[in-house]
Structures are given as structure tokens and as C-alpha cells.
Amino acid sequence: AQSVTQPDIHITVSEGASLELRCNYSYGATPYLFWYVQSPGQGLQLLLKYFSGDTLVQGIKGFEAEFKRSQSSFNLRKPSVHWSDAAEYFCAVGAREGANNLFFGTGTRLTVIP
Amino acid sequence: KAGVTQTPRYLIKTRGQQVTLSCSPISGHRSVSWYQQTPGQGLQFLFEYFSETQRNKGNFPGRFSGRQFSNSRSEMNVSTLELGDSALYLCASSIDGSQETQYFGPGTRLLVL
């Protein structure tokens, strides 16, 4: 069965600092991988996705993520965080075949301090 | 293109009542999935509809049901509400459900008193 682990419940970074949010997944094959962001009281916005090909994927708002098969990881990075990046971030895994539903991690809440 | 829309955005019900939530997918999208988000359980998959048929179902009791119409709009119904049903209910649409990217609506926040 698929599962996703986001080890960091809450991260605080200074504005302008770099950011890395961790995501580890469990899946029998290479899954589809996603990062979503959720602002308070809002739905989920897709930041980026990995289906196949280049393991370093670029997303919106300056985010990128790297798929590492050997580590079963899909960490999200941003070189310089902006105050508007404060939100909750969810990593999700989807199966390549069969049911079209996503399994989400528990999320990482990002606080940005000036 | 308009995004996924959900109505109502907020809802207050009492225990034992039933509720119906609505989701309109992105134009051209035929797959609609529903998720429940709570502080304790996080984001959990409820069910997915494609071409008016439930194609996949999560691990929720039968009180949770849904349907999809010919225009791909979907409704979710919860009967005999319990306090624990208080949550943000998110709807997501994708083109045809073949492991395509899912786009989420803003959600309906349900409070059960």
C-alpha cells in the first residue's frame, strides 16, 4: 500500500533563507509524486509533479523538487523563501495504474519570519 | 478556464441531520474525487466518480455517498451526521482519471454541532 511521510510537522525559516521540505514515500513501483500547498482556509494548489523523465522538476513560485528513487524521497526546495510562502505543504503519491486517488502526507507547516 | 468550484463554502449542521455538498469540475474534466481533511486524520480519500460511475472508494462508512451527473458535476451526501464529520471536504477534478493531475477546489467547511 502507498504511504507518504513528511517528518517535519512545522518548520520556521527567515525570509530570504533557503528551504527544504522532506517527503518519503512507500510504494511498490515508481509512483506519481506531487507537492501541493494550502493557505489557511483554502483548497490545495499544485506546486509541481513528477511523472517520469528528469528527476529534478520545476514548479510554480520558484519551487523545485528532486525525485530520488534510491531514497524513496521527493524533497521540495526553494532557494530563497518569501513571506508569502507561509502555508502548509503536502506531499502526495498516486498510483500509476488502477485507482486514481492520492495518498497524502500529514503536511508541513511553514512559518516565515522577517 | 474556471477552476473547480464547490458549494456551499461553509455549512453548520446538527448531529443526525444529513448534508449534500456540490462540486463543479473544471470544464472538460470528467473525473471527480472527494477528500476529507481533518486535523486528526489529515487528508483522506473518500471516493472518485468518472462518467457517472463510482470508480474507486476509500475507507469510509456507508453514510458517505456520492453521485455524478452527466455534465460531470458531482454531489456528496453524508447522512446521520456525527460530530466527527466536521471537516473540510475537498473536491478535485482531473481530465479522465487516468492518473492525471488532480486540481482541487476551495473546499466546503462543515461544522457539526
Note the pLDDT tens digit of each residue in B46-59: 999 999 999 889 99
Question: What is the C-alpha to C-alpha distance for residues B42 and B37, in angstroms, rounded to an integer?
Answer: 5
Structure confidence by residue, pLDDT tens digits, A12-66: 999 999 999 999 999 877 788 999 999 987 889 999 999 888 899 999 999 999 9
Question: What is the C-alpha to C-alpha distance for residues B20 and B25, in angstroms, rounded to an integer?
Answer: 16
Report the residue of A44, A93, A103 to disrupt the B interface, i.e. the one with the largest count of B CBs within 10 Å.
A44
Question: What is the C-alpha to C-alpha distance for residues A7 and A73, in angstroms, rounded to an integer?
Answer: 12
Structure confidence by residue, pLDDT tens digits, B25-75: 999 999 999 999 999 899 999 999 999 999 889 999 999 999 999 999 999
> Rounded to the nearest 5 degrees, what angle is found at the Cα of B60, between the Cα atoms of B55 and B64?
80
Residue B2: per-residue pLDDT: 81
Structure confidence by residue, pLDDT tens digits, A97-106: 666 688 999 9
Question: What is the C-alpha to C-alpha distance for residues B34 and B77, in angstroms, rounded to an integer?
Answer: 11
Shortest distance, CA A93 to any CA of chain B (angstroms): 10
Chain A and chain B share a number of CB contacts under 8 A equal to 61
Q: Is the dihedral of CA A19, A104, A41, B2 positive or negative?
A: positive
Cβ-defined contact of A46 to B97 (cutoff 8 Å): no
B48 close contact with A: CB closer than 8 A: yes
Residue B47: per-residue pLDDT: 92
Cβ-defined contact of B31 to A90 (cutoff 8 Å): no
If one counts every other C-beta atom within 10 angstroms of the C-beta of residue A86, the result is: 17
If one counts every other C-beta atom within 10 angstroms of the C-beta of residue B101, the result is: 15
The type of residue at A89 is: Y
Which residue from B minimizes the CA distance to A39? B106
